[in-house]
Chains A and B, each alone.
Chain A
């Protein structure tokens, strides 16, 4: 089945540690996205990538980093510079950069900082 996988489902981190969240898609989509979801705030865009080896900052990129070395993969690193990293993180993809059509979402990773 085609889709987006995210791992791990739950992640615990101590303050001061960097952690990397995985996102993989087998939909052959060009564009991929990372969102952060907090209660009552909807989804906020962290980073997006329209094509391999290219990515742009979203609305709340500070304290995060990404890479896009392969079309199928778009990992997100939450660095120690992120002041309040506890949240639910969602990865999504679309066919291409100019697609106004819907985004397909992964199941999410819940990050908790202890």
Chain B
């Protein structure tokens, strides 16, 4: 079964600085990868996803993530963060079950704290 590791529980960074949130998964067989963002007391919103094709995927608000099969990683990056990016970020991988349905496996989350 798949597992997802987010090594950093919290990442503090100053506004306009670059940031990288790390994500590693356990198996590279037919993976589908996702980053979700959660603002306080809200549900999760999809930030970006990798299903196939180009290994670099981008979101509409400046985040990008690169699928690296050899390193089994899907790190999230942004070249310049804003105060409004303060939130919790979850990496997830889609794991195929025996009955051919899919299950999302989530990492433990990384809290991004942007300071002025």
Contacts and interface: CB of A to CB of B under 8 A. Distances in A.
Interface residues of A, number: 28
Contact of B106 (A4, A42, A50, A107): A42
Contacts, number: 56
Interface residues of B, number: 25
B97 to A, nearest CB: 9
A102 interface: yes
Contacts of B49: 101-102
Contact of B45 (A40, A42, A105, A110): A105
A98 B101 contact: yes
A99 interface: yes
In order of increasing CB-CB distance, the 3 nearest A-B pairs are A105-B43, A42-B108, A97-B101
25 contacts: A6-B43, A31-B101, A40-B9, A40-B108, A42-B90, A42-B106, A42-B108, A43-B44, A45-B103, A48-B103, A50-B101, A88-B41, A92-B44, A97-B101, A98-B100, A98-B102, A99-B102, A100-B32, A100-B94, A100-B102, A102-B49, A105-B36, A105-B45, A106-B43, A108-B42
